[in-house]
A and B are shown apart, each in its own frame.
Chain A
Amino acid sequence: MATIKAVDALSGAAIIDEFKRCGVEFIVSVPDRVTSESVLRRVAADTALKLVRVCKEDEGVSICAALSVCGKRAVLLMQCTGLLDSVNALRAIAVEYEQPVVMMVGLLGHESESPPAESPKYGISVVPRILDAMNIAYEVLHSAGDEKRIAPAIERAYANSTPLAILIGRSPV
């Protein structure tokens, strides 16, 4: 595997700045290996964000949806395995109820700039195909600078009251 230079890598600090730029107050999370150190640990130490630690990711779908009804913005930070485990909750609460459930999803084991749909790993390639099938919009981030797409995508999700998945293809630093 090619070594990823830190200068090319996504920045956890920049990701959090994007959350704040678009008014995200709550991070709801089950720890994800891809974002654990660079994002979740920073969130836990950041007094400007409220961290809700959940036992299972589908709880987070409901919590984020309920917070949106309260006028509060949230991001569900989880691993792609958690997204797969939450498909029924997403089907009903996010898609059928048309609610802005925003997810940041670490693609565990991808660590590549290639499109996730082309991954030789089924657990990765199935993620965008499921999102497509569910008509859930998604962004794929893997390199420095991609973070700037986060806040506009979240703004669109809340403006249109639609779910959004932000897929993290390589571990941020």
Chain B
Amino acid sequence: MMKRDECLDVIARHHTNEIVVAVYQAAFQWVVIKPDAPNCIATGAMGQGSSHGLGFALGMPQHRVLVLDGDGSLLMNLGTLVTIATAAPPNLVHFVCENGTYEANGGHPIPGKDVLSFAGMASAAGYREVHEFSELDKLDAALPGILKARGPVFVTLKIVPGKMYPENFGYMHSPKARADFKRALKRLPG
């Protein structure tokens, strides 16, 4: 099983100018791994990361958008799969880090743990391309194609938490986080 921060390290190696929307534990890790990227981690309410990603993808079609979602978060907003598939932004890649638990809320299991298939639901909703990875080398090999593919693309990352990173909720919801994101957007080429 992959560790989440190892997955994010691999994604960071392939990341160039994509806008990144990350939620909770993925956000706390991603802003340490890739602090200068255009990172939106202020998505307000659980489940809303992918909807922010859709808004950015529609509003900035010249840029690509990566969503780093969580499994509990996605369960809280499952309709987003249908909404995104219907809007069909070609510039959106939607990752979900699946560890089967509400990691930030005590590690309780998610409903459907070890039974449901997020990639299956995304495929049934109408995403153009769907992937599932549980091995780092396979993720690494496939990422260049995934990041260039016509979206919306969905990627399940079967993970375990990995090492702990600071849970900086204060920064996540701060005006500074939103200002940092807007400044990084202005630095994007094109």
Contact assessment for B56 and A70 in the assembled complex, using a CB-CB cutoff below 8 Å: yes
Alpha-carbon distance A62/B39, docked complex (angstroms): 16
Instruction: Name the prevailing secondary structure of the B interface residues.
Output: helix
Could you say which of B42, B43, B51, B86 has the most chain A C-beta atoms within 10 Å of its C-beta?
B51
- Residues of A near B185 (CB, < 8 A) are 69
Instruction: Name the prevailing secondary structure of the A interface residues.
Output: helix
Q: Tell me which of A69, A71, A96 contacts B173 (CB under 8 A).
A: A96
- Residues of A near B44 (CB, < 8 A) are 62, 65, 89, 92-93, 96-97
Nearest residue in A to B81 (C-beta to C-beta)? A55
Q: Tell me which of A26, A55, A62, A72 contacts B48 (CB under 8 A).
A: A62
Interface residues on B, range: 20 to 34
Residues 155-190 of B at the A interface (beta carbon under 8 Å): 173, 178, 181-182, 185
Alpha-carbon distance A66/B182, docked complex (angstroms): 11
Output the least CB separation between A134 and chain B (Å). Answer: 14
Contact assessment for B45 and A88 in the assembled complex, using a CB-CB cutoff below 8 Å: yes
Whether a CB of chain A sits under 8 angstroms from the CB of B3 is no
Contact assessment for B77 and A58 in the assembled complex, using a CB-CB cutoff below 8 Å: yes
Contact assessment for B51 and A55 in the assembled complex, using a CB-CB cutoff below 8 Å: no
Output the least CB separation between B82 and chain A (Å). Answer: 5
Alpha-carbon distance A59/B73, docked complex (angstroms): 13
Output the least CB separation between A23 and chain B (Å). Answer: 13
B34-47 contact mask (Cβ, 8 Å, vs A): 1 or 0 = 00000010111101
A32-65 contact mask (Cβ, 8 Å, vs B): 1 or 0 = 0000000000000000001011111011111111
Contact assessment for B77 and A70 in the assembled complex, using a CB-CB cutoff below 8 Å: no
Contact assessment for B58 and A50 in the assembled complex, using a CB-CB cutoff below 8 Å: yes
Whether a CB of chain A sits under 8 angstroms from the CB of B52 is yes
Q: Tell me which of A65, A91, A92 contacts B55 (CB under 8 A).
A: A65
Contact assessment for A64 and B42 in the assembled complex, using a CB-CB cutoff below 8 Å: no
Interface residues on A, range: 20 to 34
A11-47 contact mask (Cβ, 8 Å, vs B): 1 or 0 = 0000000000000001000000000000000000000
Alpha-carbon distance A158/B59, docked complex (angstroms): 16
- Residues of B near A67 (CB, < 8 A) are 55, 58-59
Contact assessment for B56 and A66 in the assembled complex, using a CB-CB cutoff below 8 Å: yes
- Residues of A near B58 (CB, < 8 A) are 26, 50, 52, 63, 67, 70, 72
Alpha-carbon distance A50/B51, docked complex (angstroms): 16
Alpha-carbon distance A70/B79, docked complex (angstroms): 23
Whether a CB of chain A sits under 8 angstroms from the CB of B12 is no
Q: Tell me which of B48, B56, B178, B181 contacts A89 (CB under 8 A).
A: B48
Contact assessment for B83 and A62 in the assembled complex, using a CB-CB cutoff below 8 Å: no
- Residues of A near B77 (CB, < 8 A) are 56, 58-59
Nearest residue in B to A56 (C-beta to C-beta)? B79
Output the least CB separation between A31 and chain B (Å). Answer: 14
Interface pairs (25), CB distance under 8 Å:
A52-B54, A52-B83, A52-B87, A53-B83, A53-B86, A53-B87, A54-B83, A55-B79, A55-B82, A56-B77, A58-B51, A59-B79, A62-B48, A63-B54, A65-B44, A65-B52, A66-B53, A66-B56, A67-B55, A69-B181, A69-B182, A71-B59, A89-B45, A96-B44, A97-B42
Chain A interface residues toward B at CB < 8 A: 26, 50, 52-56, 58-67, 69-72, 88-89, 91-93, 96-97
Counting from the closest, the 4 A-B pairs by CB-CB distance are A66-B55, A70-B59, A55-B79, A92-B44
